[in-house]
């Protein structure tokens, strides 16, 4: 059965282009379009779609308000369509908090050619979103903050241990769940999350606000220090290198690996080379298999490895692929991952 998609966007051009692109996949059926959330609400009842594509900014009712109501009353897979702007990035991260599964970006100019330029990415994301388990994660004012796990006393703090994390679809919220429970003096963490270039800096800033650690978008040549988190820019691979006893970030614009730049496999390969058995590595929720082979290579040289379990993953592609080839020492629910990473670094 084809995936039934309802497209919600106030732009007639975007509705037309998205319909044409998605209808080009025999596994996808565009069952309808809507120009605003009020029309969409009625069409959801009539057409019972499997997936929604939802514009972030719309008249009459904004996308976030509609998404909040939808995830409370009728949770279903939602793919956000975001503008490539700082405001678009912030709204998109709020949408992911509310339960949207993933997002795609639309250019500010030449929308038709811009969207057609990554037609296959759009189709792939619809297939991934259709398999997802959407969960409303509305953040209410007055809710208790996540409990930060206390670091055990250490006689010597060094950069010897490094935690490496890879994620894709659903990863922005999974990474947040891990980082917001890390103690401020946790070992250095390097992260590759599949994300557009203009979204990685706002994502790092958002993580910095929610974590006791210091979080930044990685810069070329930046020293890697305990208590700090380094997130790969959306335009470059992130690698770890070492000079003497010190570790550094290295950015690369080498071709994509596994169709991704940044790539998790690229990061993990560098971690295996320069950190070796002192590394601790994890793959969180995500589509595809990026990171699986190099996670296995890390385990084979003595590094500690884990993946997020299927029940708590939005999409069990990347972690599932790693588990299938024996790359993971253990498979854990999201709320147990921070504690395990810290235990292995003590």
The residues carrying an active-site annotation are: 168, 194, 290
Strand order through the sheet with 214-217: 214-217, 228-231, 188-193, 162-167, 279-283, 304-308, 330-332
Query: 38: left (phi > 0), else alpha (psi -120 to 50), else beta?
Result: alpha
**Tokens read off for 95:** 């949408």
The conformation of residue 286, written as its DSSP 8-state character, comes to B
* 110: CB partners within 8 A, 6+ apart: none
User: By CB neighbour count within 10 A (0-12 exposed, 13-18 middle, 19+ buried), where does 2 fall?
Assistant: middle
Using an 8 Å Cβ cutoff, are 235 and 263 in contact? no
Alpha helices per DSSP H over the chain: 12-23, 37-47, 63-73, 86-98, 111-116, 119-130, 171-179, 197-210, 264-274, 292-300, 318-324, 337-345
Neighbours of 178 (CB within 10 A): 25
Whether residue 262 is preceded by a cis peptide bond, meaning omega within 30 degrees of 0, is yes
């Amino acid at each position: 059965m084809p995936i039934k998609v309802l497209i919600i966007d106030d732009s007639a051009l975007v509705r037309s282009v998205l319909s044409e692109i998605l209808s080009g996949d025999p596994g996808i059926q565009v069952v309808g379009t809507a120009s605003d959330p009020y029309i969409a609400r009625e069409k959801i009842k009539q057409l019972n779609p499997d997936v929604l594509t939802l514009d972030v900014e719309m008249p009459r009712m904004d996308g976030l308000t509609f998404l909040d109501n939808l995830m409370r009353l009728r949770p279903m897979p939602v793919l956000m369509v975001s503008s490539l702007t700082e405001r678009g990035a912030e709204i998109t991260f709020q949408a992911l908090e509310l339960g949207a599964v993933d997002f795609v970006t639309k250019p500010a100019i030449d929308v038709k050619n811009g969207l057609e330029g990554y037609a296959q990415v759009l189709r792939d994301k619809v297939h991934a979103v259709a398999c997802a388990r959407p969960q409303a994660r509305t953040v209410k004012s007055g809710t208790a903050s996540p409990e930060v796990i206390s670091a055990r006393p250490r006689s010597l703090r060094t950069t010897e241990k490094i935690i490496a994390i890879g994620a894709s679809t659903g990863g922005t919220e999974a990474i947040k769940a891990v980082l917001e429970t890390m103690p401020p003096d946790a070992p250095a963490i390097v992260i590759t999350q599949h994300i557009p270039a203009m979204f990685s800096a706002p994502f790092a800033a958002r993580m910095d606000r929610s974590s006791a650690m210091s979080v930044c978008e990685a810069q070329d040549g930046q020293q890697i220090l305990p208590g700090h988190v380094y997130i790969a820019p959306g335009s470059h691979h992130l690698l770890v290198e070492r000079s003497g006893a010190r570790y550094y970030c290295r950015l690369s614009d080498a071709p994509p690996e596994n169709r991704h730049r940044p790539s998790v496999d690229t990061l993990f390969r560098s971690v295996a080379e320069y950190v070796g058995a002192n590394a601790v590595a994890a793959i969180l929720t995500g589509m595809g298999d990026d990171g699986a082979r190099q996670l296995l290579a890390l385990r084979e040289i003595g590094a500690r490895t884990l993946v997020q379990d299927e029940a708590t993953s939005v999409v069990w592609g990347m972690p599932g692929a790693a588990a299938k080839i024996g790359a993971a020492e253990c498979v854990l629910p999201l709320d147990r991952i921070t504690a395990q990473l810290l235990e292995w670094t003590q």
